[in-house]
Amino acid sequence: MADDARGWTHTLTAMKGRLTPPLVLELDVTEGLVEAPPHDPITAALSQRKPRMRDVLRGLQRAASDRRVHALVVKVGGTKISLAQAQELSIAIKKIRAAGKHTVAWAETFGEFGAGNVPYLLAVACEQIYLQPSGDVGLTGIGIEEPFIHDALDKAGVTPEIGQRHEYKTAANTYLQRGYTDAHKEMSERIVTSLSDQIVPVVAAARGLSQTHVRELVDRAPLLATEALDAGLVDGLAYRDEVYGGLRRRVGPEARLQYVSRYHRAATQAMTRQLSAPRHKDAVALIHATGPIQLGRSSRTPFGSGTGSDTVSSAFRAAIKDQRVKAIVLRVDSPGGSYVASDAIWRHVDLARRRGKPVVVSMGRLAASGGYFISMNADAIVALPSTLTGSIGVLGGKVVTSELMSKIGFTHDSAAVGRHALMFSSTRSYSDTEWERLNLSLDRIYADFTTKVAAGRGLELDMVEALARGRVWTGADAHERGLVDELGGLERAVELAKHRAGLPADAEVELRELPRSTPLERLRPPKSSEDTGGAEAAMPSLDSLRLSAWGRFAPIAAALGLPAAGPLMLPGAWQIR
């Protein structure tokens, strides 16, 4: 009976494929991709035009084996996707190509008076690349430029008092130095070299050019459209109507266009409608840790996301209790933040493993400092080559603004009981005993961090110390040094999770996002701390959007760009274009 049912299913699928017009899938990444699902109406409205990374990856995976799908056209450009996202999408596009689907990338420009490295790297994953005749190819190479505001603070009458562990935890250098220290320069140069080494060989192999020639083109860029065509970086100069017209001639005039994310949702809904009984298949839980790590509930705002320890911990507890969940994938895209919040999430990763639920981490653009802290105890860690990770270190301190306040006529007075009652006040410097307490705290956090890295990664503490000291690594370099296990994206993490759970590689499993609840459940008061609806992400109050660690001087700290999320925070502002 089971064989007969499978036979009928195959026959019906084949008939459906003949009756439905061929599909040309579209993927537009110019407005960016959403990593985590929106948890409130405002965020949902703001992101409704952006496809979700998970939907796109699953849609491309499905399309590879769908006979109706004949081609994929990818519109690239802009600065909204990260290098890590481009690498992850490239993996999926190459699988589409391997399945015999025609793939085309089209761009209005790869950087208009700006760098276009990231969109071009995504484009080379496709079989053909077309550029609008008025566009450019800004394959200008990788660079990091970091500000130092020591002298500006000095002129303003602001004194930073920040401790760091250790020399590579360079966020404090922005305020304490006038330029690169030796360690800071070494780390930054290695990062840009590693990222460049990821781009040049890929472009050379995809376009049939030597790496030496590609580096020469990088040094000449930005290139005019005609120069890019002559150099072999693009296959043709064409407007949108010409590109799409060529696809219709190739696939057939009856071809139907559909966005990848819509295609995925339609296929999922159709499959759900065909099922007459409740689903009892095994599941892999997908838990997102997106944005700075903080205590309490995750937050979603128009300005970004925050990973709350209560929300993530609740999701882990739900996954541990659910008998259908056989493994957990923790998707991390975070620069870190609160040490205490990171430790609470670390504990739940440990609890899941103790209860027989393997945990695999999938690292996105960032998984550094606190982002690495919550990852290091997983059964396996998968990173993209350009992921910025590591930053195993800690910093903490304050800025003293009393001189600035005096210059503008702002005075204050105080009363306190307790020797260190005003330790964190921005109006006075640390005393000797307060510095002693701060340093004791930084040393404790650093020792805990490195000890747990050694235990989680199976490394000797001396080896961890050589890799730590606050140093940021690319995913490629971290893989060579044992800080991550594999290079790949979310789909590879799911495959590893299934393997760790003892499930067959071809087993169909549900990828279940947690915590999950209805909008009504998110509005009602939670019944207990075990209620996943009560731990859903929330829109924070206006006060919580301020940099509360800086007290009444939050606006000044915000203007200066001082780190506010916590001691386990990735140093600097990292954006690779």
Indicate if 279-569 has the same CATH topology as 18-140+221-270: yes
What's the pLDDT score for residue 313? 95
d(C-alpha 319, C-alpha 535), whole Å = 14
What's the pLDDT score for residue 410? 85
Consecutive 10-residue averages of pLDDT for the chain (577 residues):
49 52 94 76 57 92 94 93 95 96 97 90 97 96 90 90 91 91 95 95 97 96 96 97 94 92 78 49 93 85 74 94 96 94 97 97 96 98 97 91 86 87 88 93 96 97 96 97 97 96 90 74 62 55 40 47 56 55
pTM, two decimals, is: 0.87
> In Å, how far from its chain's centre is CA 253?
39
Which single residue is written with the structure tokens 């080559």? 385
Written in H, E and C, the secondary structure of 157-205 is CCEEEEEEECCCCHHHHHHHCCCCCHHHHHHHHHHHHHHHHHHHHHHHH
Q: Centre a 10 Å sphere on the Cβ of residue 101 and count the other Cβ atoms it contains.
A: 21
What's the pLDDT score for residue 566? 57
Q: Are strands 136-137 and 299-301 parallel, antiparallel or unpaired?
A: unpaired
Residue 162's alpha-carbon distances to 23, 499, 553, 563, in angstroms, are: 58, 45, 16, 11
Greatest distance between any 2 Cα atoms in the chain: 87
Domain range summary for the chain, segments of one domain joined by + = 18-140+221-270, 279-569
Residue 42's alpha-carbon distances to 9, 296, 385, in angstroms, are: 42, 20, 33
Write the burial class of residue 61 (CB in 10 Å: 0-12 exposed, 13-18 middle, 19+ buried).
Answer: middle
Q: 291-334 pLDDT, tens per residue?
A: 999 998 887 655 567 889 999 999 999 999 999 999 999 999 99
Three-state DSSP at 468 gives: coil
What fold is seen in the domain 279-569?
2-enoyl-CoA Hydratase; Chain A, domain 1 (3.90.226)
**Count of alpha carbons within 13 angstroms of residue 178, beta-carbon side:** 2
Per-position DSSP letters for 228-281, written without gaps between them: HHHHTS-SEE--HHHHHHHHHHHH-TT-EEEEHHHHHHHHHHHHHHH--S----
Domain 18-140+221-270, architecture per CATH: Alpha-Beta Complex (3.90)
- 399 and 150 Cβ atoms separated by less than 8 Å: no
Token pair of 477 as six digits? 């370099």
What's the pLDDT score for residue 532? 59
Q: Are strands 472-474 and 388-390 parallel, antiparallel or unpaired?
A: antiparallel
The contacts of residue 330 (CB under 8 Å, 6+ apart) are 287, 289, 349, 359, 360, 361, 362, 374, 375, 378
Q: Are strands 283-290 and 325-334 parallel, antiparallel or unpaired?
A: parallel
d(C-alpha 126, C-alpha 235), whole Å = 11
Partners of 129 in the β-ladder: 105
Phi, then psi, of 433 in degrees rounded to 5: -70, -30
What's the pLDDT score for residue 172? 87
Which single residue is written with the structure tokens 């260190």? 420
Residue 403's alpha-carbon distances to 154, 157, 398, 555, in angstroms, are: 10, 5, 14, 17
Which single residue is written with the structure tokens 């840009």? 192
Phi, then psi, of 497 in degrees rounded to 5: -60, -45
Write the burial class of residue 523 (CB in 10 Å: 0-12 exposed, 13-18 middle, 19+ buried).
Answer: exposed
Q: Which run of H or of E encompasses 286?
A: strand 283-290
Residue 462's alpha-carbon distances to 232, 386, 394, in angstroms, are: 48, 26, 18
